Amino acid sequence: MNTLDEIISLTSELIRFKSMHSNPEAIRACADFIVQWCADNDIRATQIERKGVPSILIMPDENNRARLGLMAHIDVVDAADDMFEPRIENDRLYGRGAGDDKYAAALSLILFRDRLMALRAKGMDQNDMVFGVIITGDEEIGGANGAGYAMTKVQCDYVIALDGGTPERMVLKEKGIINMAVTAHGKAAHGARPWLGQNAIDALIEDYQAIKALFTEDTEDHWHRTVNFGIVRAGESVNQVPETATGHFNIRYTENDDPQAIISAIEAAVSGDVSVERIDPVFASPESEYTERLLRISGAEAVQEHGASDARYLQDNGMAGVVWGAEVFGSIHTSEECVSIPSVGNLHDAIRTLLLEMENEI
């Protein structure tokens, strides 16, 4: 079995864990499996936990210091049972987590094992490794207790978040996130006499129009703030005028926006009550020699992306980095989630080349 076959085989094993947040025991079981895999391969690994979320640190030394870090996650969004049975078709591995993000965990583990074996053949050990691996368990719900906690426990000069981009597109910038709820108020009445009430849904629609008016920019690259009205909850009976209606909004913003100013503008524009549920910062990597080396080795293009990842926690902890990954054909979170097997190999080879360069500098 060659290296790529091993990565795909290990990815398939990880896919079989139904590691959804509706099934936290499976997230823990998947983390335990990885720790045992490390032990079986004579790799020192530490499992940490915050608020029930496991993370795994595989670092060169007990000080958790490394020149380079590879970061991946094992939690996935909900899926039907059959999506946890991996299958290969036309050079693609299918299954929940195939592209987001279990291939990245498997790639990192196999790469760590192989480089450690090479160093041991030269009389060195894990303390001499130039990179570490951080695998977390809550990226899909914001990462606060996974990467947000784990990155305070490690020190890396540079981190590759293997959770976006493609081998040809390396992400140096990602938008920030604001999730908020707006609750509009009306007056309840019987559905047969709507004139006696005030429908809160009407008020919420008016508030939505007021919010949309704050997001009118529309450039070709869409590198500007956006809003999505994703969830609405109102009413308890079809024959009742709803007294309250709540809308949940997902806002993406760029480095040119002030998130607090966006929130203040919305509060001033709507009549309902605004509740901010989450604010995540923009990810913008500072300049680094490692970025230049990766771009040279891979031939990739430096790009910016509208999505977000655990890379958001790098800047808060003084670490540079990029978001990079295999080709997933826009399939993540869908019923046809997959990853290109050849692109996993290309990604592995590029990172391995960087690691060999770094090892030669020891």
Sheet of 226-234: strands edge to edge?
226-234, 244-253, 176-185, 273-280
Equal fold, 3-174+282-360 vs 176-280: no
DSSP structural state of residue 219: -
d(CA 272, CA 258): 22
DSSP structural state of residue 271: S
Note whether 281 and 138 are within 8 A (CB).
Answer: no
d(CA 193, CA 240): 9
Residue 50: closest CA among 315, 313, 280: 313
Kindly indicate whether the domain formed by 3-174+282-360 is annotated with CATH number 3.55.40.20: no
Asked, as a colleague might, if the bond just before 100 is cis with ω within 30 of 0, I would say no
For the chain, 362 residues long, give each residue's pLDDT as a single digit of tens: 899 999 999 999 999 999 999 999 999 999 999 999 999 999 999 999 999 999 999 999 999 999 999 999 999 999 999 999 999 999 999 999 999 999 999 999 999 999 999 999 999 999 999 999 999 999 999 999 999 999 999 999 999 999 999 999 999 999 999 999 999 999 999 999 999 999 999 999 999 999 999 999 999 999 999 999 999 999 999 999 999 999 999 999 999 999 999 999 999 999 999 999 999 989 998 899 999 999 999 999 999 999 889 999 998 899 999 999 999 999 999 999 999 999 999 999 999 999 999 999 97
Return the structure tokens found at 106.
């498997």
Note whether 47 and 56 are within 8 A (CB).
Answer: yes
Q: 300: Cβ–Cβ under 8 A, 6 or more apart, which residues? A: 165, 166, 167, 168, 169, 170, 294, 324
Q: 106: Cβ–Cβ under 8 A, 6 or more apart, which residues? A: 7, 8, 10, 11, 14
Domain 176-280 class in CATH: alpha beta
Residue spans of the domains in the chain: they are 3-174+282-360, 176-280
Q: 150: Cβ–Cβ under 8 A, 6 or more apart, which residues? A: 48, 55, 57, 134, 136
Count of helices and strands (H, E) across the chain: 9, 18
Q: Which residue type, as a one-letter code, is found at position 236?
A: E
d(CA 294, CA 168): 11
